[in-house]
Amino acid sequence: MENLTIERPRIVDLDTRILSEVDHLNRLRNIDGTYEYRDLKEIHENLVTAVKEAAVPFAISTTHQEYRDGSFFWLDQRPGDVAFSGYKFHSHESAIARVDVEVEEALDVNLNLRPGIFKIFISPRMSEVDAPYEIAKREHLGDDDQIRIHGLNINPDGSIEGKFMQSMLIKDIPLSAWFAMLNDPNNIFGKSLDLEDDGSALTVMKTHAQLEISENDLPGGVLDIARAVLPYVEEEKIQIIERQLDLFSADQNEIHEKAEAIATRWLDFEIELSESLNSGYATEEIINFIASLSTSWNDHFNCLIKENIDSRGLLRMNQEIAVELEKAKRNTLWVNAAVSIGNEKIINKIGHESARRIIENEERIKILIDDPDTDTQKINRISNQNNNMIAGYNIEIGGGCAGATVGSFSMLEMIDLFANRRENWKWTKGLCIMGSCANKGETVLVGPCSICRSCQERFDKTVKT
């Protein structure tokens, strides 16, 4: 437990948490600018989980950690290191106290996980005893209970290959139900923990070391834990939770496959952001992303771009721009994922006609990606159609550790989405940021996000239906 006394990292702006994978990429980049396959694979797996938690409220996630040198590892970090990084992303004392428990749980799992046994962690959302809802939401801890189990992956020779963690998010379980279940000697764990119901989620979280169960007694994994609490829920709330559990009967393999495809596109973008921050200038792919949404950015983002164009017409990349781009990318990718996997809450927000078009485009993208002879520009063209459609609604989406996000988009008139606002643009003298611009380095008339007329016309073709 000596690791718990280490001085905590400085609390940073909460927005910077969304660049965590970009930070990992910057840290893990080889001298020649490449990445190890294992590192990319593990970051991709992390992004798959984030897609599921943000866009698919009925998804179950599974991640893996390799076992070597007497410990489990994700990237180059031990479980305690991963949990310890949580201090950077929280500011309220109750949220920080939860990270204390997360670190203790990670160390306990690392030391005490053994064959044939699952270790369980129940992490209820913050209660009013812990913090007001507004604070809990800001800390990304206000809406969902998380249940997770840890188990070992064993090699044929009996040695430890690694461990897996299966997790799910669920809403509306009263905190009192968790207390009642854990205090019942006939609960799923076969013992009473004799807890005092003090109304704090922390008290439930701190039971982690005592929550062990045989693998044979938990065939349904995390869903069995969620089902086990139902008898302790007030009758009027049981149906609400049962309806959620019914959604988890969806084809989890199909959900995983679609989340993987979205995460692959997300990882490509994270690499581009990492390269941009590392060099100090936006890569061509980042410029193209900005250009493809040129009719959708709000005034704040457009001003941010103009302020960071150097004398050569190159876009300087800094953390503020990277955060805004990451928010936009997450928002568009997550809505794509939510719609294509059937998240009715998001579908109702954008309407069934828009949802139908998004689904059709996602299917076209999948077919094209599977074809090795496909022109990448064709994929980008279809993707841009969806992105502009989604940006026009600018809805909040998200959940879990990743939190919720909206993009730096303007709300558009949906009647004529792809002909929006052009007639109201102010064309001013400036430098075009497009690397392929024939007028590169020369002063020309540019639109709000510093793209000249000729380049803008080229990108307009990528978003028209």
Task: Give the residue, 419 or 276, on which the prediction is more confident.
Answer: 276
User: Can you give the pLDDT at residue 95?
Assistant: 92
Q: pTM score, two decimals?
A: 0.84
CB 387 within 8 A of CB 332: yes
* pLDDT, averaged across the chain: 87
pLDDT tens track for 239-249 = 999 999 999 98
* C-alpha–C-alpha distance, residues 464 and 459, integer Å: 9
Quickly state the pLDDT bin for 203 (edges 50, 70, 90). Answer: very high
Query: pLDDT tens for residues 16-75?
Result: 678 999 999 999 999 998 999 999 999 999 999 999 998 998 999 999 999 998 899 988
Instruction: Give the pLDDT score at 9.
Output: 40
